[in-house]
Amino acid sequence: MTWAYGTFPYNNTYGIKAFNDTEYWRGMHELSREGGIIAKIEECRRQQRKLDQEGYGDQEKVNEACLAALGAGQNVTADLYNQKGRNGWFDISHPAEDPFPAAYPFGFLNQHWVQKALGVPVNHSMVSPAVYDAFTRTGDMAKGGLLEDLAYILDHGVKVALLYGDRDYACNWVQGENSSLKIPWSSQQDFQATGYTPLVVSPVHSGGLTRQYGNLSFTRVYQSGHLVPSYQPEAAYLIFMRALLGKDIATGTVDAADYASTGPSDTWWMRNDILPSPPNECYVLNTGTCTDEQQEWIFDGSAVVENWIVVGRDKSKTISFGQAESQQPLI
């Protein structure tokens, strides 16, 4: 796995500079200094190779080393980037309180009549905090072996199509591209020697740029944040179908087994315009979409909510902190 801490929000194709110079160089120093992030990652993986080759996550010494590596990286990326006033974590062109993609399924799937129709006995949850915490405690994200896993399935005939929205910071395309070039499969050098060609969506529209050799492709998708099918559904669908049918990702007209893309060796020459952000929408089942003021309204009971969306405030319904502790949730 490769690491690109600090680079994407500082140098990207949208001209957005989410970190100032001081923050950027501090991050780069923390990355490479003695005892820094890279050193901690290397120690994590050394302990893993020594004590936990099967990857069960039950060796405390390995978990401690990997959790330390994960924490060091998050101090420079997540903790810094999530400070007030930053751009969106999943879309650098949107504000941090990003309402897109909308979280409407939370409310819809937690209605009794929907659950009854689906035969679902429990409430819907997007993620499991218990599972997330378990992986975090073992420092799972700092451990190695993922690129080797991709190499194994590629060498056994599995198709791998990597697609990254070029507005996503959480899984940014810069790190994705670096990782794709370092997958140690039998055709690694052939893949590295290929170039980028346009992802053809229609005769007059390109949805991105694709590098491909055989069963492995990497696509930088234009004007897309984290959930590519939400931002660019047609491009995502075409990538999926072309990979499924064993065709080249760029055009869908050539058998992938005989295909090697040609063109420039990188995509930095293709710059992007910043499109208008969607208007603010505070969805109470995902308070990350709410401003600090709107969250205060929710907490003090004065928020006016319609279909789980804050549409205003009624000060007459404001409750004190002591009252709030005994109140039932709004939803």
pLDDT digits (tens, 9 = 90+) for 236-254: 999 999 999 999 999 999 9
Angle between helices 21-32 and 37-51 (to 10 degrees): 30
Query: In terms of domains, do 171 and 123 share one?
Result: no
Residue 232 has a pLDDT of: 98
Domain contains 2? no
Two structure tokens written together for 322: 């002591």
Residue 187 has a pLDDT of: 98
Domain contains 244? yes
Q: Which of 174, 6, 169 has its CA nearest to residue 96?
A: 169
- Single residue among 238, 258, 278 that ends a domain in this structure: 258
Angle between helices 60-76 and 37-51 (to 10 degrees): 160
Residue 322 has a pLDDT of: 54
Whether the pLDDT of residue 331 is over 50: the answer is no
Give the mean pLDDT of the chain.
90
Query: In terms of domains, do 294 and 240 share one?
Result: no
What percent of the chain stands above pLDDT 90?
72
pLDDT band at 1; cut points 50, 70, 90: very low
Q: Which of 255, 260, 234, 259 has its CA nearest to residue 245?
A: 255
Query: In terms of domains, do 126 and 161 share one?
Result: no
Query: In terms of domains, do 232 and 186 share one?
Result: yes
Domain contains 208? yes
Give residue-wise pLDDT tens across range 160-195: 999 999 999 999 999 999 999 999 999 999 999 999
Query: In terms of domains, do 163 and 240 share one?
Result: yes
Domain contains 90? no
Give residue-wise pLDDT tens across range 111-168: 999 999 999 988 888 888 899 888 888 999 899 889 999 999 999 999 999 999 999 9
pLDDT band at 6; cut points 50, 70, 90: very low
Residue 330 has a pLDDT of: 45
Query: In terms of domains, do 228 and 304 share one?
Result: no
Residue 183 has a pLDDT of: 98
Query: In terms of domains, do 125 and 76 share one?
Result: yes
What is the residue range of 191's domain?
157-258
Domain contains 151? no
**Beta carbons within 8 Å of 66's beta carbon, 6+ residues apart:** 44, 47, 48, 138, 139, 140, 142, 143
Whether the pLDDT of residue 313 is over 60: the answer is yes
Domain contains 42? yes
Query: In terms of domains, do 167 and 231 share one?
Result: yes
Domain contains 267? no
Give residue-wise pLDDT tens across range 55-90: 888 899 999 999 999 999 888 877 667 666 778 899
End-to-end CA distance of the chain: 42
Domain contains 268? no
pLDDT band at 321; cut points 50, 70, 90: low
Give the global pTM: 0.87
Residue 320 has a pLDDT of: 60
Residue 5 has a pLDDT of: 41
Task: Tell me the CATH number at 164.
Answer: 3.40.50.12670
Query: In terms of domains, do 237 and 296 share one?
Result: no
Please give the Cα distance from 125 to 152 (Å, whole number): 33
Query: In terms of domains, do 118 and 227 share one?
Result: no
Give residue-wise pLDDT tens across range 22-64: 888 888 899 999 999 999 999 999 999 999 988 888 899 999 9
Q: What's the total number of domains in the chain?
A: 3
* Contact (CB, 8 A) for 164 and 69: no
